[in-house]
Structure 1
C-alpha cells in the first residue's frame, strides 16, 4: 500500500454500492461500460460470505508487530498459510508470517500464527529501513508459494522517487526459502521498469499481484495501475487499462494483456488533501483454466471510503500488447470480465483495505473457499480482517 493511502485510511468512511452485472472495456471507453453477457469469461461465478475473523491490532508475535498484511497464500507442503507484511523495515525488518487457519463452511474459525522470518538480501542481511537512504529498501506486497518446490515468490513495488528523492528502487519478484533466504529473482518485462523518462509504473502502482497457473508452469503478474505511457489514471468518467503479463517460470514472456480497471465510483471530498486511490492489489489463477483469473479491485475515495470488488476475468481472445509501447489511442481488445461480488453486499462487519487472496479448502457443498486478508497499514482506524467466501 502506498504511504499516501496509509495516511488516507485514517479518515476513511465505509460506503459501497453493488449490482451484479458484467463489465468490459475498450482502450477508449470506461471500464465500467456494460458488456454483452455472452462475451464474458464463461459461467458466472457466485460468491457468498462464510465468515470473518479480525486479528488484534498490532499483535505482538515473536518480537515483531503483526500488521500490514498485503498478501496470503496456502502452502501445499505444510497445509499452513503464509502472509506478507508491507512493513518497509520501518518497525521491524521486511518479513512474512506463517499461520494455521481453521476454515470450514461456517467461515474462519481460528487464526494461529506459527512463525515469522525476515526476507534476506543476497548477502544474507535483512533489508534496512527507508530512512537509511541507501537504495536497498523494499516495499513487499504479494507472496505466493511455488506449487512445485514450496519456496516463496514475493513481489515488491520498488519506488519511483520524487524529483529530489533518493535513487530509484526497481520493482521485483524474488524467490526465497521457507526461512527467507534469497534464492534469486524473476526477469520482469522491460515495461515494468521505472525510468526517469516518464515511462513505466507510477509511484506506488507497480507490482502488487502475482499468481501461479497451469500447475506452476505460468507466472502471471499485474501492475496495480496504468503505466505512465498508457494514459491517465481512472476518474469518475473513465476507467483505465492496466497490464497483466503471463510468463514462463524462467522469465520468457508468454503474453501481455490490457485489463480494464473500473472508473472511480464517487466524487472525492474536495476538502481532502488526498485524491482517490484505485488499482489491482491481487490476482488469482483458476486451478484448471490457465487463461482465467479472479481479479481484486480496491478503490479508496476521500469522504466515501473503500469499494472492494471481485471480478472473473480471462485473457482468452484479448490482444497481446507486449510489443505495444503505449496503449493510448490503440484499438486493442482488453481482457473480458464479469463482476463476482461487491463486498458491500456480503454482510461483513466492515469493508476495509482488502489486498490479498488465495484458494482455501473445498467444501462438502461443492464450493471452494476463497480466503482474503486486509492490510491495516498499522493504523488503529483500520483492521486486519481475514474473510472466507464460498465460491461456486
Structure 2
C-alpha cells in the first residue's frame, strides 16, 4: 500500500472470530460452518527499526516482505523502493527473537536485484517498461536462492508502457536466474481483464515440502467484481503451482469489507488487500493470510486469518467470478493487531515463520512497510502461534 497517513491502535484482549464462506454468487459468505482450521496467537514482542536507517549506502525502508533463510538462520527482507532512492534491493538481517520478545535487529547485507543483462532496475519514472515494483521474497528451501514477486504496473495512460507482474528467481547476490510462468489471468491487459493497478502479486509462499509455490493477487481482478466497500467484501484469487509453473489449482479467497467510513475531507479512498500469505509446513491446503486495510481518519487495520483451500471451488477456468456459484476458501481470525497491545499498528505487509519455541509453539515474524514516510515506521512484530 502506498498511503502515508497517521495511524494508531488501542490495546485489548485477543479475540478469535470466524468468517466462513458458503456457495454464493461471487460474494464472501457470512455464515459459520465447522472447520479444521483455528490457530491461536499471542504477542511476544516488537522492535522499531530507526527511521530511514542508512546501511551500506542505502536507505532501509519500504520493507514489504520477510522470510527466514534456512541456510543461515538470518532473515531476508525485500524493499519496495522502485529504484527511486536506490536500485530495487533486498536486505539480510540477524533478528534475535524468542519467547521473551524481539531483542535485536541487526542488518548484515544488501544487494540490488539484477535484470537478465546484469543491470540494476531503472526508476519507475524512466518510462521504458523495465521498472519493477518489488513486494515479496521467499527463500527457496531447496537451494536457498531467492524467489521474489513484483506486481508490475497497469498504466494510468494508454501512452505509458504496461509492466507485467512476475515471480523471478535470483542468486543470493541478486543476479537474475529466470522467472515462473504465471497463470493467464494474472496478466495485465487493456481490455478490463487482469489485476487492478497496484493490486497484483504481493504474496507468495512455498508449501508441500517446497514442491508447491502459492501466490495471491492483492485485490480482486477487474473481471471479478468491485473492490470491498462498507457493505461488501470481495473475492481475490489464490493460485497453487508447481516449481515449473504448472497450475495445480486456483481458488477464491474472501476479503473482508471496509471496517470504517473514510474521512470525507481526504482525497484518498480506502485501500485493502492481501500483501502476504504463508503456508503451514505440514498441510499443503492451509495458509496464514494477512489482510491489510487503510482508511483515512481511522488508520490501519491488520488481521491474520487461518485459511484453507479444502472444499473450495476450483476457479482457474472461470473467466469471471461475477454471478458464479463459488465456495471460497474458509477462514478463521487468528489475530487483529488492534487487540495485541502494540505500540502502534502500521502498514504491515510481510510475514514468515521464525524459530520454534520450547513446547512446540511457532514464532511468526511480521514486518511493516514505512513507505519511507515520516509518519510511518519499520516495525518487527513477533507472535507465538499455536
With structure 1 as the length reference, what TM-score do the two structures score?
0.95
2:16 alignment partner in structure 1: 20
On the 8 A contact 1:156/1:208 being kept in 2, the answer is: yes
Among 80, 88, 109, which residue is 2:103 paired with? 109
1:35 alignment partner in structure 2: 32
- Superimposed CA distance per residue, residues 214-248 of structure 1 (whole angstroms, 9 cap, x where no aligned partner): 11100000000000000010001000000000000
- Aligned equivalents of 1:16 and 1:140: distance in 2? 32
1:350 alignment partner in structure 2: 344
1:187 alignment partner in structure 2: 181
2:356 alignment partner in structure 1: 362
3-state DSSP of counterpart to 2:304: strand
- CA shift at 1:16, angstroms? 9.1
- CA shift at 1:365, angstroms? 3.1
3-state DSSP of counterpart to 1:229: helix
- Aligned equivalents of 1:345 and 1:165: distance in 2? 46
3-state DSSP of counterpart to 1:389: strand
- CA shift at 1:28, angstroms? 3.5
Match status 1:135 vs 2:132: no
3-state DSSP of counterpart to 1:215: coil
- Aligned equivalents of 2:225 and 2:61: distance in 1? 34
Among 159, 162, 165, which residue is 1:168 paired with? 162
- CA shift at 1:266, angstroms? 0.6
Among 242, 263, 270, which residue is 2:264 paired with? 270
- CA shift at 1:166, angstroms? 1.6
Structure 2 residues not aligned, in runs of 5+ = none
Among 234, 242, 249, which residue is 1:255 paired with? 249
- CA shift at 1:15, angstroms? 6.7
1:205 alignment partner in structure 2: 199
1:10 alignment partner in structure 2: 5
- Superimposed CA distance per residue, residues 92-144 of structure 1 (whole angstroms, 9 cap, x where no aligned partner): 00000000111110111111100000000000000011121111110000000
Among 101, 116, 126, which residue is 1:122 paired with? 116
- Aligned equivalents of 1:326 and 1:13: distance in 2? 37
Q: Mapping of 1:218-297 within 5 angstroms?
A: 218-297=212-291
1:72 alignment partner in structure 2: 66
Among 63, 77, 80, which residue is 2:57 paired with? 63
1:49 alignment partner in structure 2: 43
Structure 1 residues not aligned, in runs of 5+ = none
With structure 2 as the length reference, what TM-score do the two structures score?
0.97
3-state DSSP of counterpart to 1:147: coil
Aligned residues: 384
On the 8 A contact 2:219/2:236 being kept in 1, the answer is: yes
1:306 alignment partner in structure 2: 300
Q: In angstroms, what is the RMSD of aligned CA positions? A: 1.4
